[in-house]
Amino acid sequence: MPAPFFTVTILYDNRTTRDDLLSSHGFSCLIENHEGRRVLFDTGESGPLLLENMKKLNIDPSTIEKVILSHEHYDHVGGVKTMISFRNDMEVLILPSFSTAFRENFTDLKVLLKEVNKGMEVLPGLFSTGEIEGIIPEQGLAARGSEKALFIGGCCHPGLEKMISTAIGVTGQTIGAALGGFHLCHSEDDEIQSIFQSLKKMGVEKIAPCHCTGFAGIDLAHEIYGTNCIDTGVGTTVEWF
């Protein structure tokens, strides 16, 4: 079997796959490419909790080149200061919509704060969608594969379908799988069902819902996707070829 193009490991989530790993409301995942280059997507709410999970999963924080923040919610950006303490040259990719108050946290630090406006490559083969408009603007990531790309979302506040359509445009590939928080925790069952059905029509063959997808959303994802719905939590690893 060839080596995966990308490996994604969930480090922070509302649920866990192992008793020794800690769960908490929030999201963070490590994305590693085939050359071993690593970025962190979101940081959860608590830096110490994130670090504890990294330690148990044998991930050295100083090996992370960039932290990419999906949006400014506390349960995604809370651990960023902890992370940047491990490396002077760590880049933090934010969005134009991030507040002045957030930026002021970094004025005395040597962190390289960069804005992602439009879709761009953040690591070879790994793309940000750029800032997607919504009541809460957000960026998602998409990792190119041999045929299809893997979409990764933090909360998907602007809408899962809208974020996946943007990811298709940015990568030039169909999205074959989607992982992350899909923010369906306040949606009615019929709305959730129609979103997953429309994802299937868009070519999304596999789904790995977590964080703010919500219990009903995760149950419906299992119902609609069957064995192509991956159980997720802290410690889940998805390989993308």
3-state secondary structure of 214: helix
Q: How do strand 237-240 and strand 141-143 relate by DSSP bridges?
A: unpaired
**73 is a contact residue toward Fe ion (CB under 5 A):** yes
**29 is a contact residue toward Fe ion (CB under 5 A):** no
Q: Cβ(198)–Cβ(175) under 8 Å?
A: no
Q: How far is the CB of 74 from Fe ion (least distance, A)?
A: 9
Identify which of residues 28 and 173 has a Cβ nearer to Fe ion in the complex: 28
Q: How far is the CB of 29 from Fe ion (least distance, A)?
A: 13
**15 is a contact residue toward Fe ion (CB under 5 A):** no
Interaction pattern, residues 208-237, with Fe ion; x per rule: CB under 5 A: ----x-------------------------
Interaction pattern, residues 156-195, with Fe ion; x per rule: CB under 5 A: ----------------------------------------
Q: Cβ(189)–Cβ(215) under 8 Å?
A: no
Q: By Cβ distance, which residue is nearest to Fe ion?
A: 155
The type of residue at 128 is: S
Q: Cβ(155)–Cβ(138) under 8 Å?
A: yes
Please, what is the end-to-end C-alpha distance for the chain in angstroms? 10
* Candidate residues 116, 141, 155, 234; the one interacting with Fe ion per rule CB under 5 A: 155
Q: How far is the CB of 110 from Fe ion (least distance, A)?
A: 28
**75 is a contact residue toward Fe ion (CB under 5 A):** yes
Q: Which H helix or E strand runs over 209? A: strand 206-210
Residue 102 Cα distances to 44, 45, 98, 185, angstroms: 15, 14, 7, 26
Instruction: Give residues in contact with Fe ion (CB under 5 A).
Output: 73, 75, 155, 212
